[in-house]
Copies of this chain bind each other. A is one copy, B any other.
Amino acid sequence: MQRHVLITGVAGFIGAAVAKDLLKRNYKVVGVDNLSTGKLENIPSDVEFIKLDVSSSHLKSLLAAYSFDGILHIAGQSSADVSYSDPIYDLNANVTSTLNLLQIAIEKNIKKFIFASSATVYGEQENPLLLSEEQTVNPVSFYAVGKLASERYLSLYSKEYGINCTSLRLFNVYGPGQNLDNLNQGMASIYLAQALRQKQILVKGSGDRFRDFVYIDDVVQAFVSVLEANVKAKSIINVCTGKGTTVNEVCTFIENKVKLAKPTQFSGSTRGDIHGQTGDPTRLLEGSYVKSLTNFSDGMLKMIEWAQERQIN
């Protein structure tokens, strides 16, 4: 029997990649996106696409005719920086949308709900290395506060209505398909886009900041494994590698592959930015949600080759 899923944010980097993988596995995929940052050309052709904001009150009636085995809620305002310029937009995009979908999940008796949360919920920590899911959270941006509220709503729906809810706390996702036109979001993609187009990388913030970069294929695998898990998945799972890579290392890697005109420049900072964090992937690996994790140099090399092939420079 063909399985049906609803994917929100299907025109975005992660949503489109998850959709593509599920179509290959013979799922029927209905996708929703408001195309605010997502692109129509990202959406795989076999997706049945609905252009709508996920927080819209019309969503319910537009989905009335469908039934789903699971919802993958990947849509959202994904820039911490943008969350500062319009906190109410951020709240609607990242929290109202979640409540809207959870309500639909109850009414349609959908038993699985997977939410793209974020490592930013950990925020500033005294010991930012190997953050486990049990770590006390400390969100320090509007974006992070919203993601955490959504996680908590999931856990309430899980408890009250028996929906099997999982929040995947995504660390820094990167890889082929990432939006090189959106310079508000995605450290690796911002630097790579600058390198290819302006022949110079301009870093907002210090070079010794570090992140846990997780490759898109591994992230897709995590979504699919949780969706297909027969035993109830944990309610929160870090999607990360456990390894930190500094901004300097990312820039040096790109500089070695892309000929630049000027040296990399560092200035200013981003509001709500955190110095560094790496996540503990024990739960991700022990649950076999991801078989093995791509290391940064292999993944970044593929991303650079993809970008160069598309002659985005």
Contacts and interface: CB of A to CB of B under 8 A. Distances in A.
Interface of A: 84, 87-88, 91-92, 95-96, 99-100, 102-103, 136, 139-142, 145-146, 148-149, 152-153, 156, 160, 271-272
Nearest to A157: B87
Copy number in the complex reads 2
Contact of A153 (B87, B92, B103, B272): B87
Given A91-B95, A160-B84, A145 B140 contact: no
Contact of A88 (B96, B141, B148): B96
A276 B206 CA distance: 47
Given A142-B156, A149-B146, A156-B142, A99 B87 contact: yes
Chain A interface mostly: helix
Contacts of A96: 88, 91-92
Nearest to A84: B160
28 contacts: A84-B160, A87-B99, A87-B102, A87-B103, A87-B153, A88-B96, A88-B99, A88-B100, A88-B103, A91-B91, A91-B95, A91-B96, A91-B99, A95-B149, A136-B136, A139-B152, A140-B156, A141-B156, A142-B153, A142-B156, A145-B149, A145-B152, A145-B153, A146-B149, A148-B149, A149-B149, A156-B272, A160-B271
A139 B150 CA distance: 12
Nearest to A149: B149
Given A88-B100, A145-B149, A145-B156, 5 more contacts: A84-B160, A87-B102, A88-B99, A88-B103, A156-B272
A253 to B, nearest CB: 33
A149 B84 CA distance: 15
Contacts of A272: 156
A96 B146 CA distance: 11
A96 B99 CA distance: 14
